[in-house]
Amino acid sequence: MPASEIAELVPQLHNVVCTVNLGCKLDLKSIALLARNAEYNPKRFAAVIMRIREPRTTALLFSSGKMVCTGGKSEEQSRLAARKYARIIQKLGFPAKFLDFKIQNMVGSCDVKFPIRLEPLVLSHQQFASYEPELFPGLVYRMIKPRIVLLIFVSGKVVLTGAKVRNTFAFSVFQDKKELLHSY
């Protein structure tokens, strides 16, 4: 695969995790009883697990008023979903606000379309790469700058995670790493 094609590769996002502060204490028991798609099992986990169908996401609502929203396919979708959850809480009677929305993690994947040889990669990048075929079939590459973890597989598929901002994905560092992989 020529270098120019690798440079155009943009990973697809599969999951975006965000947190938001609703700014008021929540009564989890009443939320679990009143809301439709909510589950609450205080003995197992101290939060209400709520799901909405559009965008398909799951939220963990804590009694302090903080919320974690997972499952969004893009940052906008994630923000929209978080707003929807805040709206649900508002409708249930709590003075919910939308403070400190922050994206914590984004997971994406891409395919470089050529097989990758992991052994030379781990030999040359020993301080970043860890490959233990007995434990996991993929190579775990912990990039320092930007702080991303890549799971690199023999088939050429790469999973990226740990990014907080999208452009860390389509980063130039990713490009030159892929060119490096091409040489393997």
Cβ distance to other proteins smaller for residue 106 or 116: 116
Q: How far is the CB of 31 from other proteins (least distance, A)?
A: 34
By CB under 8 A, residue 159 contacts other proteins: no
- From the list 24, 126, 147, 165, which residue makes contact with other proteins (rule: CB under 8 A)? 126
Coil, helix or strand at residue 39? strand
By CB under 8 A, residue 158 contacts other proteins: no
Which residues 60-119 are close enough to bind other proteins by CB under 8 A? 115, 117, 119
Q: Which residues contact 41 (CB under 8 A, 6 or more apart)?
A: none
Cβ distance to other proteins smaller for residue 41 or 126: 126
Q: What is the C-alpha to C-alpha distance for residues 67 and 86, in angstroms, rounded to an integer?
A: 9
Q: What is the C-alpha to C-alpha distance for residues 43 and 6, in angstroms, rounded to an integer?
A: 49
Query: What stretches of 9-129 show up as alpha helix (H) in DSSP?
Result: 28-34, 75-91, 118-124
- From the list 15, 58, 63, 130, which residue makes contact with other proteins (rule: CB under 8 A)? 130
- From the list 4, 54, 134, 183, which residue makes contact with other proteins (rule: CB under 8 A)? 134
By CB under 8 A, residue 50 contacts other proteins: no
Cβ distance to other proteins smaller for residue 87 or 117: 117
Cβ distance to other proteins smaller for residue 8 or 134: 134
Contact 82, 68 (CB under 8 A): no
- Containing H/E element for 96? none
Q: What is the C-alpha to C-alpha distance for residues 115 and 6, in angstroms, rounded to an integer?
A: 14
What number of chain residues touch other proteins (CB under 8 A)?
A: 17
Give the phi and the psi of residue 89 in degrees, each rounded to 5.
-65, -35
Contact 65, 23 (CB under 8 A): yes
Cβ distance to other proteins smaller for residue 96 or 118: 118
Interface contacts to other proteins, rule CB under 8 A: 115, 117, 119, 122-123, 126-127, 130-135, 137, 153-155
